Chains A and B, each alone.
Chain A
Amino acid sequence: MTMYNLTTDQRVDKALADNFLRQATRRATDRLRNNKYKASDELGNWEEWRNAGETIRKHVIANLDFYLHQLIEQMEKRGVHVHLAKTPADAVGIVRNIVREHDAKNVLKSKSMISEEIHLNHALEEDGAAAVETDLGEYIIQIAGEPPSHIIVPAMHKTRQQVADLFEPIAGHALSSDTPTLTRFVRIQMREQFLRGDIGITGCNFAVANTGSIVMVTNEGNGRMVSTLPRVQITLMGMERIVPSFRELDIMLNLLARSATGQRLSSYTTILTPPKKSADSDGPEEYHLVILDHNRSEILGDKLFRTALNCIRCGACFNVCPVYRQLGGHAYGSVYSGPIGSVITPLLEKDWKKWGHLPYFSSLCGACTEGCPVRIPLHDLLVKLRMRKTQSGHTPQVEQQIFKAYRYLFTREKTLRRALRLGAHLQWPFVRNHRITGGPAPLSNWTKSRTLPMVAPKPFMQIWADLNNKR
């Protein structure tokens, strides 16, 4: 968990010095992005699909209260236990209670970003009922004690040798680091767990309001295992993850699979309408749905940022972001990284001190906005978040002073002229090739990693005046 204790600068330095990480990030993002291009081009009318996706998401969010109510009603009518959690602590408490009530020893988990958001594993570990991550990537980072570095390929930053080293103590013998050996080990290891599972915890890609169904996509099949074999299932969902009916689900599943991994459909797309019918041989008898708010309702009420709730967690914005590409996910320090993580983390966590750096993890190039299958204006939201942060008074002292000085000078013409003349003289010791390359604090904050254009020996104001005189 070391990266949680590092400062933002330290995390960034660490990422930049890690050649494997940077190479792996480039490889993963290139592959996923190119697959997405293929899968979206093949439709021949991607923009129309994006339009439909955007329209559906906006409609759902604008009527979230209605659809959520409908979902809850449908679920409860069939005997599903629906739990509403205002905070991560509430959600953790709900899951802990269910696990305790059943005295469950074997808790299995398929991928759920909500479980990461509420730090569920840590809490269950304390109770001695640790949930085993069953997605291969999540399993790797669980053993390593690290957060995901990519929303779709969470262990992308690990080398195969590191993976083999992590597995060896569990295997009790040496493992070769080729992929088939490693996946075979996990298949055998995890099989026993699946067959013994008491409680399955899953995420939720979409919830269908009018039928009360949960839709889950996986490629490995672990989602099916966790939702088929244990007697009790708990599904964690963010409250915005809704579609009105199967009609809209078609669009969303196409957009998700194609944008996330470039597949036409994920290997396993499962639509659960729980609990199992009494005569069914498989499937959970007892089903709990935990719906999490965690400041999503605040985002809903904030017109500037409401579109952030439209996200379908496909990760397409990660794969086109030049900042993510250089740093990978851990440098962000947050559970959700990449452009969407930089948008939603400050909004969900409401802590500018801790997360104020995130809106600046962007070059504002707009590639994320262009890549988003539901057209969330991500780079625009990042600018607005910077504004929000400044308004909330959390800008560093130095930056505040610089902008005060800027304002002071640029509203006083004579002083500005004098300052420029002074600057033109004082800069000489620091100028190399017409660039300022050093200087005293606070200038050095900038020049330690970048240069500045030098103050022109003859200011523009002077050139302009001379031109006028010549006429």
Chain B
Amino acid sequence: MTNTNEFINHLASKLGRPTPIETPPPVEISVPQYRLSNTEERASIFLQNWQALGGKGAIVKSDNDMLQCLKEWFGDLPVTWFKDNPQALIAWDMLPSIAESAFSTLNWPLTRYTQSSLDPRDRYSIAAHAELGITSSDLGIALSGTIVMNSDPLRGRAVSLLPPRHLAFIETTKIRNNLFEVLEEISALGTPPAAIEMISGPSRTSDIEMDLSIGVHGPIEVYVVVTDN
């Protein structure tokens, strides 16, 4: 094991000067960033890019829209799933109220991931056997069709990872133009959460003969509902 000071001093000697005490002045960065003119446009471009990556998406404006959208995507599947597995829908502890009320109207009971078991391995197993993982999303990126999720105690990171399908809810006003704006906003919060997950479409690989294949490890199907109040 090498001592930190020794390690750092060695680098300073290679750079031919003592290690600066103050943070070096940041470099100037000037790149023209991608910008759209309004929330509506951002939501629509976000959705377009998300779909281009192979995700499903819709903008909903009312409770009724939400019900229609979920029914259209999943139909009677959840009812079939519940027959084999009452924990088929695994979710964060809290979802946007429009989503919570839609699930209760549809009578699709949600299993709350963090409360599903005290033992982490059991929780992973429950999430891995679920059919659909349901989360919200803190921010979105229009340019890349990306949803951004900060970890916290009420939110399992595995919910968006282990089930074969992932459904996320995001408000139109949370969609930013580009990655820069998202990182700027997260920085402003102070210490970042333990994990920030940025997800752009389903799990993909081209490792076998450069042939694109979906769902090698992460979710195979990904859905986003953009809520517009």
- In chain B, residues 166-193, which have Cβ atoms closer than 8 Å to a Cβ of chain A? 178-180, 183-184, 186-187, 191-193
Are the C-beta atoms of A283 and B195 separated by less than 8 Å?
A: yes
How far is A145 from B211 in the complex, measured between Cα atoms in Å? Answer: 22
Listed by A's residue number, 16 A-B pairs whose Cβ atoms lie within 8 Å are A31-B206, A56-B27, A68-B11, A70-B23, A82-B4, A83-B1, A84-B1, A135-B207, A195-B121, A263-B144, A267-B203, A269-B198, A280-B151, A282-B120, A283-B157, A283-B194
Using CB atoms and an 8 Å cutoff, list the residues of chain A in contact with chain B: 24, 27-28, 31, 43-45, 48-49, 52, 55-56, 59, 62-66, 68-70, 72, 82-86, 90, 94, 134-137, 140, 153-156, 158-160, 163, 179-180, 182-183, 186-187, 190-191, 194-195, 210-211, 213, 219-222, 224-225, 227-229, 231, 244-251, 253-254, 263-277, 279-283, 293, 297-298, 300-301
Q: How far is the CB of A216 from chain B (nearest CB, A)?
A: 10
Closest to A32 in B: B210
Q: How far is it, in angstroms, between the C-alpha of A227 and the C-alpha of B203 when the chains are bound?
A: 16
Known A-B contacts A183-B216, A297-B11; the reply to A160 vs B195 at CB < 8 A is no
Task: Choose from B152, B192, B216 the contact partner of A273 (Cβ within 8 Å).
Answer: B192
**CB-CB < 8 A to A153: which residues of B?**
206-207, 210
Shortest Cβ distance from residue B122 to the other chain A in the assembled complex, whole angstroms: 10
Q: Total number of A-B contacts with CB less than 8 angstroms?
A: 266
- Among B12-20, B58-66, B69-77, B79-87, the stretch in contact with A: B12-20
Q: Are A64 and B124 in contact (CB under 8 A)?
A: no
B135 within 8 A of A: no
Residue of A nearest to B32 (CB): A45
When C-beta atoms are compared, the residue in chain A nearest to B148 turns out to be: A269
CA distance A249 to B186 in the complex (A): 12
In angstroms, how far is the closest chain B Cβ from the Cβ of A350? 15
> In whole angstroms, what is the CA distance A199 to B123 when docked?
18
| Ranked 8 nearest A-B pairs via Cβ | A221-B218, A301-B14, A279-B153, A137-B207, A264-B144, A65-B11, A246-B183, A282-B157
A159 touches B209 (CB 8 A): yes
Digit string of B193-213 for contact with A (CB within 8 Å is 1, else 0)?
A: 111111111111111111101
Given A183-B213, A191-B128, A293-B7, are A136 and B205 also a contact pair (CB < 8 Å)? yes
Tell me whether B183 and A272 are in contact (CB under 8 A).
no
Contact status B192-A219, CB under 8 Å: no
Given A183-B213, A228-B157, A277-B194: A220 in contact with B218 (beta carbons within 8 A): yes
A204 to chain B, nearest CB (A): 14
Residues of A near B2 (CB, < 8 A) are 84-86, 90
**Cβ-defined contact, A265 with B179, below 8 A:** yes
